[in-house]
Amino acid sequence: MAKIVVVTSGKGGVGKTTTSAAFGAGLALKGYRTVVVDFDIGLRNLDLIMGCERRVVYDFVNVIQGDANINQALIKAKQLDNLYILPASQTKDKDALTQEGVEMILESLRETFDYVICDSPAGIERGAYFAMYFADEAIIVTNPEVSSVRDSDRILGILASKSKRSVENMEPIKEHLLLARYNPKRVKDGDMLSVEDVQDLLDIPLLGAVPESEAVLMASNRGVPVVLDGKSDAGDAYTDAVARFLGEDLPHRFLHYQKKGFFSRLFGS
């Protein structure tokens, strides 16, 4: 029986899809059968980031409407045996998602996978609601800015009061914080909130801070999850975050600004 994990934030552009892809790949690398489900109806881009957009034939909505079965719609990731994605539909009709349809799909994925990662769209509308409704755990992606933290706080409130687990009085959704696009230099200069500030405001356990990094953009342009990069700090930060998600206790590596020495500036790191 899989765990359903929603990656959500309230705001767009904070790094949800990047994080969903990185966690999908990271969990698959650890040997877990993992599927990443794109809930961003009309704006799908998970398949692009994961480099399998050309192989999309059927999507989420086709399965809901009975035009295809789930196995026809799932796409295996190129580089990893354990990783699949279920692409979002390009339809503009947001009502194509129904609660029964989403439940049917997630329940059938639960049977065959260890982790079902739901990549939530921005906002608190239908798509975002369905992405979080059935979740067992939530990864709240936040940027170190006041407005992003406020949106995340709002989403935490919705998880605690509108999700299936809360409505049915079950054990609450397990919450995790992931700080994305973290820039220790700008934190030090006072232009960004620090990890401590964000944790003080949201008060949920921290999976890690992923530094702002060119490697993320390059990896997604090539359609390769950044954790497979092997030599970028963002990739390492995601690898650590996945390990913490799985219960490992690791020291945080990327929280504080370190002035680069001559050699590391020369050779990059």
Ligand X SMILES: Nc1ncnc2c1ncn2[C@@H]1O[C@H](COP(=O)(O)OP(=O)(O)O)[C@@H](O)[C@H]1O
Residues of the shown chain interacting with ligand X in the complex, contacts defined by CB under 6 A: 9, 12-18, 122, 180-181, 210, 212-213, 216-217, 220, 234
Give the CA distances from residue 68 to residues 27, 65, 93, in Å, rounded to whole numbers and listed in that order. Answer: 27, 8, 18
When CB distances are held under 5 to 8 angstroms depending on the partner's kind, the choice from Mg ion, other proteins, ligand X, none that residue 157 binds is: other proteins
Q: Which does 212 bind (CB under 5 to 8 A by kind): ligand X, Mg ion, other proteins, none?
A: ligand X
Q: Which is nearer to Mg ion, 13 or 31 (CB)?
A: 13
Residue 24 contacts which entry, other proteins, ligand X, Mg ion, none (Cβ below 5-8 A, type-dependent): none
User: CA 144, CA 193: separation in Å to the nearest integer?
Assistant: 5
Contacting residue, 8, 9, 17, 34, with Mg ion by CB under 5 A: 17
CB 168, min distance to ligand X, A: 28
In terms of Cβ atoms closer than 10 Å to its own Cβ (0-12, 13-18, 19+), residue 260 is exposed
* Site stretch for Mg ion (CB under 5 A), options 10-18, 164-172, 209-217, 243-251: 10-18
Per-position DSSP letters for 159-203, written without gaps between them: HHHHSHHHHTT-SPPEEEEEEEEE-HHHHHTTSS--HHHHHHHH-
Q: How many Cα atoms occupy the beta-carbon half-sphere of 92 within 13 Å? A: 0
Query: Applying CB under 8 A, which residues contact other proteins?
Result: 58-59, 61-62, 65, 67, 89-93, 95-96, 150, 153-154, 156-158, 160-161, 172, 201, 203
